[in-house]
Chain A
């Protein structure tokens, strides 16, 4: 094994083997999953009854849309503009727009003044979906089994109408996922770059550093530490993702499924039993996918997770490298952890700033400030995570590319600088490192 790999392996294995790592791996997902489940449980809670004006461009196709528990539909043949005008002056709570191409696009819009609950959202989707499906059945002379296979997911976009009558799409849930990712990035960068700093201080304080840097270069050691600890972070993240997803899925099935969908679940179970023998593995997978599609999690599943996760990994690694290199330099400048405060705050300030602003950015993800902060490397890892789920215009894609390029360039530069501070700092004891001193280290070493 090469020396660099030895260093990385030591940093990794000693941390992953610790009890605190195991504890974090279990507690983290538990807390996150219960948070998510709680939020959805809240969103499923009842809101007021809905009276929905349905704009049916294929009128009278949807005339027989069935009212459900809390929802009354009034199907009319009128234009969307008129309906929206009516929404302002009547007691309709929302306008459901079913366009001409609905049978192929399988998509419609819901306009409202006050956001209906997730449950209402889901019910409308289901009602319209089933309505379309039932209408389609005779056309194809289809069996019940095939019917379930054919089921067409119906996609309902939520559009909020503001005072000026302008409609904007809201993807609150998707955006919330972005916020969660941003917070995760913040926590992970902070947690693990601090660990890098602690590791550096430990080696310096107990003087093992002298033995080690007589066999590996300081830069090798610093980079090995950063990579090793980063790998611990990735492992932790992987465990969190898998466990959280697992717990949420179970939680969804148990709590939410039970509570709101008992009838439907039973029905589907029966169906599943009936057709199980005929179903291939792929079909079964389809059935699972369909189940998922009907859950309140459908919005989350609509997020482009491969893109989101790749970006998360990129920004986590980029941000982590950037901050941990700075923290390694900080660790090398002090003799003990108590001396770090004066350095840690200025170094991590941009990160904390980004985190503090993330809730504001979340409400206004396309503001100039958000755009700039998502480009500047010290804040981009957090802020970009918030912007991405809202969708970035293809015209604005340059911002993403610029942000990524700057992040890479900055972390290369900072790692180089940190390496120079580090290799002098680790051998200096009892000397308070002033800015002048540090500049001297960078120049001379």
Chain B
């Protein structure tokens, strides 16, 4: 599948502060794309450029290969991180207003909202005032408002914050359903677990630069530190003898006869060799490569670039 959105050498500065520096990456059609980065990295500014709230100083953003046009916003849905609604308005009036602003006719908006209200079990909400809703309920309403016009591109800024586990699951299911229907989603989040779980690709932004971009799995593999987790039953002494010089124990936890070990492979030794040596000696329960979590990669890269910068200075 081709790219839905291409960001090409985008620059943006506020006064002397260079928020985005020559940022380029592409967001493929139909997947979930993670836009990651620490606070103040420039994510929100980039999202504002995509939603045309503000324009880039230089560079361009292409949607389906075309420069962004005014009406493209009708094909986008946006759930900002800092969410708000008109507190005094009734739920239905509010939803209808915001969805119609996306270019839907009154009837289209009503039909779509009815579907979503049913999906999220919100049927008895319409005549309630927004201020009487709990925070989680408001989040749900905002999610519905962001998706009701069936956007091609859905930008979700911290979509799970404020939800209890039940609603988190509900929203997650809907996100996956939308993905199946072909909606492209951009996730901006600090929740790395959800990135691993949901995102196909990511871009990591730090200090206005894209420092990492690609498929989640290949990024994790590329950050592999050749660590393996092994669980076995049997004598730990025999186990240590069988390891040889190619594998080093980094950590070991034992409970009775059962042990959990983290091993580091030296000289790029294939893991199968180790298993061949171990199986006759101990009872192997499980063995798997320990890929770095997105959390670790995030920390590693952000701290790394901080160190680099200090070095350069």
Assess whether B102 is interfacial by the CB under 8 Å rule: yes
In angstroms, Cα B74 to Cα A216, docked, is 11
- Enumerate chain B residues within 8 angstroms of A168, measured Cβ to Cβ: none
Q: Is B53 located at the chain interface by the 8 A CB criterion?
A: yes
Contact B15 A440 (CB under 8 A): yes
> Once the chains are docked, how many angstroms separate the CA of A363 from the CA of B54?
53
Q: Is the interface of B mostly helix, strand, loop or mixed?
A: loop
Whether B84 contacts A206 by the Cβ 8 Å rule is yes
Shortest beta-carbon distance from B42 to chain A in Å? 14
Cβ 8 A contact of A208, one of B53, B85, B102, B146: B85
B73 within 8 A of A: yes
Bound: A210/B82 CA distance, A: 9
Q: How far is the CA of A211 from the CA of B100 in the complex (A)?
A: 12
From 170 to 228 in chain A, residues with beta carbon under 8 angstroms from any chain B beta carbon are 202-203, 205-216
CB distance from B48 to the nearest CB of A (A): 8
The 0/1 profile, CB within 8 Å of A marked 1, for residues 50-91 of chain B is 011110000000000000000001101010101111111100
Tell me whether A206 and B85 are in contact in the complex, defined as CB-CB below 8 angstroms, given that A214-B52, A427-B53 are known contacts. Answer: yes
Tell me the bound Cα distance from A399 to B134 in angstroms. 58
- Known contacts A427-B53, A427-B54; A211/B88 CB under 8 A: no
Whether B80 contacts A213 by the Cβ 8 Å rule is no
Which residues of chain A are within 8 angstroms of B101 by Cβ–Cβ distance? Answer: 3, 6-7, 212, 215-216
Query: A6-B97, A206-B85 are known contacts. Are A214 and B51 too (CB-CB below 8 A)?
Result: yes
Partner of B53 from the list A202, A210, A440 (CB cut-off 8 Å) is A210
B98 at the interface (CB under 8 A from A): yes
> Which A-chain residue is minimally distant from B14 (CB atoms)?
A444
Contacting pair A207 B83 (CB below 8 A): yes
How far does the alpha carbon of A207 sit from the alpha carbon of B83 in the complex, in Å? Answer: 6
Q: How far is the CB of B79 from chain A (nearest CB, A)?
A: 8
> Which of B78, B88, B106 contacts A214 (CB under 8 A)?
B78
> Which residues of the other chain, A, contact B103 by a CB distance below 8 angstroms?
215
Q: How far is the CA of A141 from the CA of B107 in the complex (A)?
A: 73
CB < 8 Å A-B pair total: 60
Q: Please state if A202 and B100 are interface contacts (CB–CB under 8 Å).
A: no
Report whether A202 and B98 are in contact in the complex, using a CB–CB cutoff of 8 Å. Answer: no
Closest partner residue, chain B, to A212 (CB atom): B101
Q: Verify A210–B78 contact, CB threshold 8 A.
A: yes
Which of B76, B97, B101, B106 counts the most chain A CB atoms within 10 A?
A: B101
Within 8 Å of chain B (Cβ to Cβ): is A114? Answer: no
Taken together as a complex, chains A and B put the C-alpha atoms of A18 and B88 apart, in Å, by 9
Q: Which residues from A are CB-within-8-Å of B74?
A: 215
Name the A residues within 8 Å of B106 (CB-CB).
1
Q: Does A284 contact B (CB under 8 A)?
A: no
A10 in contact (CB, < 8 A): yes
CA distance A179 to B53 in the complex (A): 46
The answer on a CB contact under 8 Å between B53 and A1 is no
- Please tell me if A14 contacts chain B, counting CB pairs below 8 Å: yes
List residues of chain B with CB within 8 A of the CB of A212: 98, 101
Assess the B78–A208 pair: CB atoms within 8 A.
no
- CB–CB B80/A207 < 8 A: yes
In contact, B82 and A207 (Cβ under 8 angstroms): yes
Set of chain A residues within 8 Å of B102, measured between Cβ atoms: 215
Interface residues in A1-43 by Cβ distance below 8 A to B read 1, 3, 6-7, 10, 14, 18
A1 touches B84 (CB 8 A): no
Most buried by B among A10, A209, A210: A210
Contact A214 B89 (CB under 8 A): no
* Chain B residue nearest in CB terms to A7: B101
- A-side contacts of B98, CB under 8 Å: 211-212
B54 contact set on A, CB distance < 8 A: 427
Contact flag A207-B84 (CB < 8 Å), given A10-B97, A214-B52: yes
Complex-state Cα separation, A440 to B13, whole angstroms: 14
Q: Specify which chain B residues have a CB less than 8 angstroms from the CB of A207 in the assembled complex.
A: 80, 82-84
30 A-B residue pairs with Cβ-Cβ distance under 8 Å, sorted by A, are A6-B97, A6-B100, A7-B101, A14-B86, A14-B88, A14-B93, A18-B88, A202-B86, A203-B84, A203-B86, A205-B84, A206-B84, A208-B83, A208-B85, A210-B48, A210-B53, A210-B78, A210-B80, A210-B82, A211-B78, A211-B80, A211-B146, A214-B53, A214-B76, A215-B74, A215-B102, A215-B103, A216-B101, A427-B48, A427-B53
Instruction: Across the A-B interface, give the 8 residue pairs with the lowest CB-CB distance, nearest first.
Output: A206-B84, A207-B84, A207-B82, A208-B84, A214-B51, A215-B101, A210-B80, A10-B97
